[in-house]
Amino acid sequence: MGNNIQAPRGTYDVLPDQSAKWQEIEAKIIELCNLYQYKEIRTPIFEHTELFQRGVGDTTDIVTKEMYTFQDRGDRSLTLRPEGTASVVRSFVENKLFGLPDQPVKLFYTGPMFRYERPQAGRMRQFVQFGVEAIGSKDPAIDAEVISLAMELYRSVGLKRLRLVLNSLGDTESRIAHREALVKHFEPRINEFCSDCKTRLEKNPLRILDCKVDRDHPLMATAPSLADYLNEESQAYFDQVKMYLDELGIEYVIDPNLVRGLDYYNHTAFEIMSDAEGFGAITTLCGGGRYNGLVEDLGGPESPGIGFAMSIERLLLALEMEKVEIGQSQNLEVYVIAMDDASKKKAFGIIKELRSNGISADMDYTGRKLKAQMKSADRKGAAYVIVMGETEMASGQVALKEMATGEQQTVAFADIAGTITKKKSLEE
Ligand code: ATP
Ligand code: MG
């Protein structure tokens, strides 16, 4: 490493020319969550390791292979959060949000998550997720609401090539029946599968269907489908979710093999994929589902929940693939050029005055010549330029030059901010 320190593998910097995109997405998220009445929750970046072992499930890839876990100086085992749901549910229980008069409690979060993965496009070790959780209702309408919020965010930034994939994992009874069928199906030939799948057969055979190593094994295609094991209640629930989606005009395809990566899902499971050309192997933009039972597992009263999570990184990739441009950065309004030290002092006061009036203003801090400063004003897209020297200092007036038209107007020092404010209000 030596003198040559670089960002850790799987991390990256959002540089200034990219941050307007992030800000636009974050603004859309806040606006949309307000429309849908989801309130923001902010939880710690690290939690007790046990939370994720119990909340995400200790047969998942996340818990077995991907967590950043460390001992702190007090010898506690802590983990950088790999996902948001476990923390939100912990907070829901710990802060007794189940006692609030208005249920379900509708929450959203955005923030960095950490997973030890093989980095590639759309798969980072630190990435930012936006997620929502609606906890305290098992009304299928809330499933449809959560799904529609995710779809709406993608649409609002301009994505079109979206595919919603839907499945039902059923309730516990349905899953036990299916589980038995899976064990019967895979057990006789489990030797032909990877070592992870051998463990999964005992611990959670459903996860074999999600295996990335053995996905082409012939037994995968013929495996018993959950759809055939849904009991009446689970089937009715699924039908209702579909009915509400139909009501919203949201199209979906059913994929009976969609099983989500986390252990806690039941009933509704969904993913939103991108069909845009140019995407590599990774086309999933968003994943979510219902997790009745998780709140109880983490020590709370019965509170059925549903949520989703999506990463901003994959959203940005989808924008790139669909060639949608967002995040126009805000141009500078006024650039003040000072010709000498005395006018620089005055100019410094003037830009402060402009800023106090909500007008963006900037000046040179590197002692450049007039011509170089003019170029700089151009690059920054300044709407107005003011040049100040001895004459201006003597008269107490400046020429306010509008760059788009070349028009100049003589204005007293004290009236600069007011004049620009007036011009801005006329433009609107
Ligand atoms: P995958 O199968 O791609 O690994 P996952 O099942 O691990 O996905 P989830 O845990 O459901 O993903 O996370 C929800 C969403 O978060 C994903 O759909 C994706 O948009 C995003 N995501 C997950 N892992 C990463 C990562 N390492 N880098 C960037 N985004 C990620
Ligand atoms: Mg993963």
Same domain, 68 and 131: yes
Q: What atom of ligand 1 comes closest to residue 272's alpha carbon?
A: 18
Last residue of a domain, one of 321, 348, 367: 321
- Distances 139 to 22, 91, 164, 243, 288 between C-alpha atoms, Å: 33, 22, 20, 12, 16
Considering the domain architecture, whether residues 143 and 67 belong to the same structural domain is answered as yes
Domain CATH code at residue 364: 3.40.50.800
Q: Count CA within 13 A, CB hemisphere, residue 121.
A: 13
- Binding-site positions read 83-85, 115, 129, 133, 260, 264-265
What CATH number has the domain bearing residue 282? 3.30.930.10
Tell me the residue type at 115: R
Both tokens assigned to 292: 């009745």
Residue whose CA is closest, atom 26 of ligand 1? 123
pLDDT of amino acid 181: 94
For residues 305 and 341, membership in a common domain is answered with: no
Q: Which residues constitute the domain of residue 46?
A: 16-171+231-321
- What integer pLDDT is reported at residue 112 of this predicted model? 98
In a domain, 7, yes or no: no
Q: Are residues 381 and 277 in the same domain?
A: no
Predicted pLDDT of residue 212? 85
269 alpha carbon – ligand 1 mean position (Å) = 14
Cα 291 to averaged position of ligand 1 atoms, centre (Å): 17
| Residues of each annotated binding site for L-histidine | 83-85, 115, 129, 133, 260, 264-265
Are residue 294 and residue 366 in the same domain, yes or no? no
Tell whether 83 and 39 lie within a shared domain. Answer: yes
Is residue 316 located within the same domain as residue 338?
Answer: no
CB 115 less than 6 A from any atom of ligand 1 = yes
Give residues with Cβ within 8 angstroms of 227, minimum separation 6: 167, 168, 254, 256
Whole-number Å distance, alpha carbon 273 to ligand 2 midpoint, is 15
CA distances from 372 to 186, 331, 391 (A): 73, 19, 21
Q: Indicate whether residue 310 lines ligand 1 (CB < 6 A).
A: yes
Assigned domain for 125 exists:
yes
180 Cβ contact partners less than 8 Å away, ≥ 6 residues apart: none
Q: How many domains does the chain fold into?
A: 2
Secondary-structure percent of the chain, ordered helix, strand, coil, rounded to 5: 45, 20, 35
User: What is this structure's pTM?
Assistant: 0.92
Residue-level pLDDT at 261: 60
Predicted pLDDT of residue 4: 85
Residue 86 lies in a domain: yes
- Domain shared by 276 and 353, yes or no: no
Q: How far is the CA of 66 from the centre of ligand 1 (A)?
A: 12
From atom 15 of ligand 1, which residue's Cα is the shortest distance away? 310
273 and 419 fall within a common domain: no
Ligand nearest to the CA of 118: 1
Residue 329, pLDDT score: 78
Q: Is 181 within the bounds of a domain?
A: no
**Domain-located, residue 268:** yes
Q: Is there a single domain that holds both residue 377 and residue 303?
A: no
Ligand 1 proximity of 207 Cβ (cutoff 6 Å): no
| Residue 317 shares a structural domain with residue 339 | no
Contact 411, 400 (CB under 8 A): yes
Only one residue has tokens 């790999």, namely 82
Within 8 A by CB and 6+ apart from 92, the residues are 98, 105, 107, 133, 135, 295, 300, 303
Q: Distance between CA 365 and CA 373 in Å, rounded?
A: 10
Q: Is 263 in the pocket of ligand 1 (CB under 6 A)?
A: no
- Regarding whether 409 and 307 lie in a shared domain, the answer is no
**Per-residue tens of pLDDT for the chain, all 428 residues:** 556 899 999 999 999 999 999 999 999 999 999 999 999 999 999 999 999 999 998 888 899 999 999 999 999 999 999 999 999 999 999 999 999 999 999 999 999 999 999 999 999 999 999 999 999 999 999 999 999 999 999 999 999 999 999 999 999 899 889 999 999 999 999 999 999 999 989 888 888 988 889 989 999 999 998 889 999 999 999 999 999 999 999 999 999 888 876 667 899 999 999 999 988 777 899 999 999 999 999 999 999 999 999 999 999 999 999 999 999 878 899 999 999 999 999 999 999 999 999 999 999 999 999 999 999 999 999 999 999 999 999 999 999 999 999 999 999 999 999 999 999 898 87
Burial environment of residue 257 by CB neighbours within 10 A (0 to 12, 13 to 18, 19 or more): middle
Among protein residues, the one with the nearest Cα to ligand 1's atom 5 is 261
Among residues 300, 321, 342, the one where a domain terminates is: 321
Note if the bond before 256 is cis, omega within 30 degrees. no
Assess if residue 180 is contained within a domain. no
Please check whether residue 291 lies inside any domain of the structure: yes
159 lines ligand 1 (CB under 6 A): no
Last residue of a domain, one of 321, 347, 381: 321
**Residue identifier of the C-alpha nearest atom 9 of ligand 1:** 287
Residue 192 lies in a domain: no
**pLDDT given for residue 262 in this prediction:** 64
